[in-house]
Each structure stands twice: as structure tokens, then as C-alpha cells.
A and B are shown apart, each in its own frame.
Chain A
Amino acid sequence: EAGVAQSPRYKIIEKRQSVAFWCNPISGHATLYWYQQILGQGPKLLIQFQNNGVVDDSQLPKDRFSAERLKGVDSTLKIQPAKLEDSAVYLCASSSQMGGANYGYTFGSGTRLTVV
């Protein structure tokens, strides 16, 4: 089965610029997640989609981060304007559902963002 696809793999931008990341989940996975992983830390959930609706965005810095999943398949995460502390790996994941719970979380390769 094809995995979770992400692009780009690497991005270097200057602070105050904008950047966008793209993710295509595993086919049939209704739930999609964006995580931020700062070097040396565990992944932190930014936003969770169920089909094209937002389930949880409580840790998304909404003044500068936005995400959408318009057709319930692929998703984009945007940062505008970027800050130095946004330097991290942005991981996309998807999962299947059974009985209202999520299982089988699979991660993409991530986008490594460096803000200079």
C-alpha cells in the first residue's frame, strides 16, 4: 500500500516569509493529522481532520498557522509569517477508524523547515 506522501522534504525560508506544506494520506484513511517535531522532542499535534472537518486544533497557533483539507483527501499546512521558533520537522500522519477510535497511525517522511 502506498504510504503517506509529503512535500517538500526540505525548506529554508527567512523569518516573516510564508511557507506551505502538502500531504496526501493513505487511501481510505479518513483521519489526517499534522504534527510539529522540534529537534529532541516528541511530535506535538497541531491539527486533526476527520474527512474535511477539523476535530482538534487546540494547539495550532492560529495567528500564523492555517490548515485545510478541502476535499477530505490531501491537506495543506501554511505558516504566515514564519518565526525562528517554527524551525522543526512537520509530520503528516493518517489513521483508520474502528468503533470510533483511531488506529494504525502512519507517518509521512516529514518536511524539515529551517527559518533563518
Chain B
Amino acid sequence: GENVEQHPSTLSVQEGDSAVIKCTYSDSASNYFPWYKQELGKRPQLIIDIRSNVGEKKDQRIAVTLNKTAKHFSLHITETQPEDSAVYFCAASRRKLIFGQGTTLQVKP
């Protein structure tokens, strides 16, 4: 069945450093790849997404890259700030959204 693998499970960086989270997906027909940020006790919030006809997308300090051949995509956060600390989920979708296991990002001031 469809599967999304996400790494690392935890990531700790110093404020101002960059953070990278990587995901691989199994369904080659997946065509939509959102990233969600979830703070403790809150709903997942969409932070950026990319469709399969695009290789890279950037929004201020956040960027996502997609390699369809290798079936992997990555989230890049630059100039990290303490408020970036949260759990981040990648997901892949064709007709339904399948989530990765999550990455707990800690940004140390």
C-alpha cells in the first residue's frame, strides 16, 4: 500500500541555522506533496505544498524540493527561530493524503 517515510524523527538546531527534513513516498502516482506544522495540542497547519509538475517552491524562509524520479521530497527551513519549534509532517497525495511519521524540530535560542 501507499507509504511515506520521514527522517529524521527528531532534529535539534541552533537559532539561525538551517533545518532539513526528508521524505520518500511509495506511490509513483502521487502528485501533491504538502507539509504541515503541528504545535502541541493543535491541528496540523499547512505551511507549504508542491505539485508534481514543479521541482522547487519557496516561501520566505521555507522551501520544498521534489525529485519525482527518486520519489523523495524535502523541507528546508533557513534562519530558524525558536517559534519554528514544532512537529513537522510531510504527506503525499494522489486521491488521499498519506502522512509521514513526523519530525520534532527543536530550535535552541
Q: Which residue numbers of A lie inside 8 Å of B, CB to CB?
A: 33, 40-45, 48, 55-56, 58, 91, 93, 95, 100-103, 105-110
Contact = CB atoms under 8 A, between A and B. Distances in A.
Given A55-B96, A101-B94, A102-B93, A43 B44 contact: yes
Interface stretch (B63-71, B77-85, B98-106): B98-106
26 contacts: A33-B96, A42-B99, A42-B100, A42-B102, A43-B89, A44-B99, A45-B96, A45-B97, A48-B96, A55-B95, A56-B96, A91-B43, A101-B31, A101-B93, A101-B95, A102-B96, A103-B32, A103-B49, A103-B51, A103-B93, A105-B91, A105-B93, A107-B43, A107-B44, A107-B45, A110-B43
Nearest to B9: A40
Contacts of A58: 1
Interface residues of B, number: 24
A101 B101 contact: no
Interface string B7-49: 0000000000000000000000001101000000011111001
Nearest to B36: A107
A59 to B, nearest CB: 9
A contact patch SS? strand
Given A43-B89, A91-B44, A108-B43, A102 B100 contact: no
